Chain A
Amino acid sequence: MLESISPLELNAIIANSPSIDQIGTLERIARIQARSIKGAAKLKGLRMALSMIDLTTLEGKDTPGKVRQLCYKAQHLHDQAADLPTVAAVCVYPTMVGVAKKALGNSGIKVASVSTAFPSGQAPFELKKLDTQYALDNGADEIDMVISRGRFLAGDYQFVYDEIAAIKALCGQARIKVIFETGELDSLDQVRRISDLAIAAGADFIKTSTGKIQPAATFPVVLTMLGAIKDHFDKTGQMIGMKPAGGISSSKLALQHLLMVKEVLGEAWLSNEWYRFGASSLANDLLMQYQKQQTGKYQSAAYFSID
């Protein structure tokens, strides 16, 4: 167990976390959403978004067969279209990590595992560590952990910090994404506060949601989190990744997210090393739009694989 942060340092993090101007945030988003991307830029954006997807299946009914099918899709998004990128990663439950790892082989696609009693995070700390260790032992390249929202809302920041830091220490080389479940956090101020806390505790990525709670990755929430990443970068020069998850199901939304990232953080974040979309149905919509751009004809879901 690594040494815990002192209450004084923790207080400083919380106290320095700025409050968010909600009206200003909404206006900035409205400006971003009013822009439209067309032609070559749109094609490039669609390809980029495809390469940033964490193709996800997180259901009680998941089976090895379903996971293998998803892994195949990750490598063959739409074989009718020449030289498409692959997705960034496949995201599954810890019990499916072994299956996914084997199915993906040396394709270069990473295996991300949710952990720490996803999605609620309501389990004893020891179990959360076992959960994470199990995923790592089976070959997970990335760990998507959930925070204890109840503790955070109750003001037990020490607990939340220690939990993130402990999982981070466990992960070693594997990158860790910290899921806030912003749909349960009530205000943008809270979102900013947990962003600062998680970054201080060692998060490689900060992630909006589990996908199990609505609302999920809304624009105000994502913009707030990007702001935290930006401030951290300006202060320390260290880059933190961002992963919106849940609710981004159309190409239009995905492109607007990319616009926002470029505007707030700059070109450096426009790669799947620093930006990811947690999604399942987004991939097909991106592919349909991509084909529309190529052929000039509106597409039908009937000609794209079911995932």
Chain B
Amino acid sequence: MKNQTTKLITIFTEAALESQLVRDIDRLGAPGYTITNARGRGDRGLRGASWEANANIRVEIICSPTMAATISQYLQETYYDNYAMVTFSNEIDVLRPEKFTS
């Protein structure tokens, strides 16, 4: 248990996707997630979050490396063609790692 690595996946995407994304993440079996509103600029231009259609979110998921791979692959297959989305993952040290084994 002690040596098992834990991953943090961070997803930046369109706020319009939020409810659908949450359903996907739950269905894939992630142990949990945190969503925050975000603003910024990328290759889709400035997304100022001044109103709904122009808002971004940041979704963070702490999970096992296998789950991280599953989620990343699913997102890439499902959303990368048509949505503004950036996903990356880090290895993290987390307190109570047993909470995030799935």
| B is bound to A | no
